[in-house]
Each structure stands twice: as C-alpha cells, then as structure tokens.
C-alpha cells in the first residue's frame, strides 16, 4: 500500500496553525511567526 501525495499533504497541514496577530500560517515547530516576527507560545495557536 503506497501513500499518495495528497495524504502526505494532509498530514503536513495538520501541523500548522495561524498567527493571531497577522493570520500567517505557522508550523508547530516554529518559534517565531515568519510574517510578523511575533514570539509564539502554545496559547497563540488555534485549532
């Protein structure tokens, strides 16, 4: 059984959040928002 590109993409998208300040997409492992430079913590993340 092989995994499709779409399945891999969905898994990747599950690990992203949006910055509350600018709405930029942020990955779980990132510490700063790449767009506005805000320092992130777990309370900034939305599901």
The tens digit of pLDDT for each residue in 17-38 reads: 888 889 999 888 888 888 998 8
- Reported as a pLDDT band with limits 50, 70 and 90, residue 5 is low
pTM exceeding 0.85 = no
Q: Is the pLDDT of residue 47 over 50?
A: no
pLDDT of residue 34: 87
* Rounded Cα gap, residues 6 and 24, in angstroms: 22
Domain boundaries, the chain: 5-44
Q: Which residue has the higher pLDDT, 19 or 5?
A: 19
Report phi then psi at 18, rounded to 5. Answer: -115, 140
Considering only residues 42 and 27, tell me which one the structure prediction assigns the higher pLDDT: 27
């Amino acid at each position: 059984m092989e995994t499709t590109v779409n399945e891999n993409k969905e898994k990747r998208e599950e690990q992203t959040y949006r910055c509350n300040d600018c709405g930029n997409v942020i990955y779980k492992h990132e510490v700063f928002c790449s767009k506005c430079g805000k320092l992130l913590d777990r309370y900034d993340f939305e599901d």
